[in-house]
């Protein structure tokens, strides 16, 4: 189902107090070429004051009225607003389910930022409901629009590498980012909780798998080790300066696992927290795809190659560079939103795609907890 342009969107989580929606979503929609495709008509925040302030801000900036909703009933009111064509959920993961359910119940198209749900069960529930309602559903996995991944996909699908034998990934979340290491941004302190739904596994591995699985296929088994080397994190402010406060961490900051794919290929992953990218000789991210006839090698500043573009891509020993220099991390976001607006089915990720990723994440957790290889049905 294609949308009629402009698509009128209502954003749950867009607030003057900050957050993903205000920093990385709202700024990319007004400029061309997305300006003709989208129109912000409503938003929802926690409190009446923030809803009013945010609605006034965007009404003034965009030159048209933006309606503000708030509180426990705000998501349902926004979902049932006749001037909203697409509901966008951009709140903390633990609130995704509650924010998305009213849109699904109303039969209204819904976009949910990654991760879709807090764990496999919530993700499966939302995907099943979307299927039952026949609702257009989208997940924010902008990795699919990475110029590097698009090139790698072209190479793999062309058969240039021959039969894929295996793939290995070694990556890190640099301490400079202030997430899964000795430092943690004070606005992100909830990430220290293993049950928050936005752990190192959910975010770093999840975003990576969102590109890896469509490229190389589903997993059939995993054997994993998880560790927390930094059980206490020092909180830092927006400028990266220590606040003097600390928080106990229960979430993992080290991920290692091997696995098998449906194709028979064997793969290995090692994602590490606690490493600064700016160290001599360090390669923060290296991804190899080995086929009988050739190899693809990708290197970059972090495992988040969906927002930090690779510094090097080689195909069978030959360097490759995108014909047009990639825009900063907003470039992939803008491409994703353009594909959604144009109805490019299969280009963007859906709730069912999220289930495929969460099955692997859940299996990695179970394997590490139970000390055994887990088969993924």
In terms of domains, do 242 and 102 share one? no
CA–CA distance, 286 with 275 (Å, rounded to integer): 14
Domain boundary among 91, 113, 135: 113
How many CB atoms sit inside 10 A of residue 80's CB? 14
For residue 120, being part of any structural domain is answered with no
Position 1 scores a pLDDT of: 60
Position 240 scores a pLDDT of: 87
HEC profile of 125-143: HHHHHHHHHCCCEEEECHH
For residue 197, being part of any structural domain is answered with yes
> Cβ-count burial of 267 within 10 angstroms (0-12 exposed, 13-18 middle, 19+ buried)?
buried
In terms of domains, do 102 and 162 share one? no
341's enclosing H/E stretch is: helix 330-341
In terms of domains, do 101 and 155 share one? no
In terms of domains, do 30 and 81 share one? yes
How many CB atoms sit inside 10 A of residue 134's CB? 9
Q: How many domains does the chain have?
A: 2
For residue 297, being part of any structural domain is answered with yes
Enter the pTM of the model: 0.96
CA–CA distance, 187 with 190 (Å, rounded to integer): 8
In terms of domains, do 147 and 105 share one? no
Domain that holds residue 371: 143-323+350-375
CA–CA distance, 75 with 205 (Å, rounded to integer): 29
CA–CA distance, 206 with 316 (Å, rounded to integer): 27
Domain of residue 243, CATH code: 3.30.360.10
In terms of domains, do 359 and 255 share one? yes
Summarize pLDDT for 190-227 with one digit per residue, the tens: 999 999 999 999 999 999 999 999 999 999 999 999 99
For residue 221, being part of any structural domain is answered with yes
In terms of domains, do 207 and 276 share one? yes
Question: What backbone phi and psi angles, to 5 degrees, belong to 108?
Answer: -105, 135
Summarize pLDDT for 79-117 with one digit per residue, the tens: 999 999 999 999 999 999 999 999 999 999 999 999 999
- Per DSSP bridges, beta strands 219-227 and 374-375 are antiparallel
Tokens of 351: 């709730």
pLDDT in tens, the chain (377 residues): 678 999 999 999 999 988 889 988 888 888 888 999 999 999 999 999 999 999 999 999 999 999 999 999 999 999 999 999 999 999 999 999 999 999 999 999 999 999 999 999 999 999 999 999 999 999 999 999 999 999 999 999 999 999 999 999 999 999 888 889 999 999 899 999 999 999 999 999 999 999 999 999 999 999 999 999 999 999 999 888 999 999 999 999 999 999 999 999 999 999 999 999 989 999 999 999 999 999 999 999 999 998 889 999 999 999 998 887 776 678 889 999 999 999 888 899 999 999 999 999 999 999 999 999 999 99
Domain boundary among 113, 128, 155: 113
Domain of residue 67, CATH code: 3.40.50.720
> Cβ-count burial of 165 within 10 angstroms (0-12 exposed, 13-18 middle, 19+ buried)?
middle
Is residue 78 within 8 Å of 319, Cβ to Cβ? no
């Amino acid at each position: 189902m294609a949308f009629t342009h402009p698509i009128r969107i209502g954003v749950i989580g867009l607030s003057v107090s900050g957050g993903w929606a205000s920093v990385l979503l709202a700024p990319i929609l007004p400029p061309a070429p997305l300006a003709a495709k989208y129109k912000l008509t409503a938003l929802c925040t926690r409190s009446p004051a923030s809803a009013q302030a945010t609605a006034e801000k965007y009404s003034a900036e965009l030159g048209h009225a933006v309606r503000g909703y708030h509180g426990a009933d705000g998501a349902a009111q926004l979902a049932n607003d006749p001037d909203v064509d697409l509901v966008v959920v951009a709140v903390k993961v633990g609130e995704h389910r509650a924010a998305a359910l009213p849109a699904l119940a109303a039969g209204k198209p819904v976009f949910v930022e990654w991760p879709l749900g807090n764990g496999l069960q919530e993700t499966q529930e939302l995907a099943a409901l979307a299927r039952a309602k026949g609702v257009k559903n989208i997940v924010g996995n902008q990795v699919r629009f990475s110029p590097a991944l698009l090139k790698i996909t072209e190479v793999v699908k062309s058969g240039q590498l021959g039969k894929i034998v295996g793939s290995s990934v070694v990556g890190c979340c640099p301490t400079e980012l202030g997430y899964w290491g000795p430092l943690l941004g004070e606005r992100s302190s909830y990430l220290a909780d293993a049950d928050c739904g936005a752990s190192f596994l959910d975010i770093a591995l999840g975003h990576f798998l969102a590109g890896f699985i469509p490229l190389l296929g589903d997993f059939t088994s995993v054997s994993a080790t998880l560790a927390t080397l930094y059980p206490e994190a020092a909180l830092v402010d927006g400028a990266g300066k220590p606040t003097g406060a600390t928080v106990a961490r229960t979430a993992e900051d080290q991920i290692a696992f091997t696995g098998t794919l449906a194709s028979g290929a064997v793969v290995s992953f090692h994602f590490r927290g606690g490493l600064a990218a700016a160290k001599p000789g360090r390669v923060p991210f290296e991804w190899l795809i080995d086929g009988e006839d050739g190899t693809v090698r990708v290197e970059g500043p972090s495992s988040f190659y969906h927002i930090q573009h690779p510094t090097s891509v080689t195909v069978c020993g030959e360097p490759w560079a995108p014909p047009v220099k990639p825009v900063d991390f907003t470039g992939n976001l803008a491409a994703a939103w353009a594909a959604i607006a144009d109805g490019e089915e299969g280009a963007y990720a859906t709730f069912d795609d999220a289930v495929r990723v969460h099955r692997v994440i859940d299996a990695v957790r179970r394997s590490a907890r139970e000390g055994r290889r887990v088969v993924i049905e």
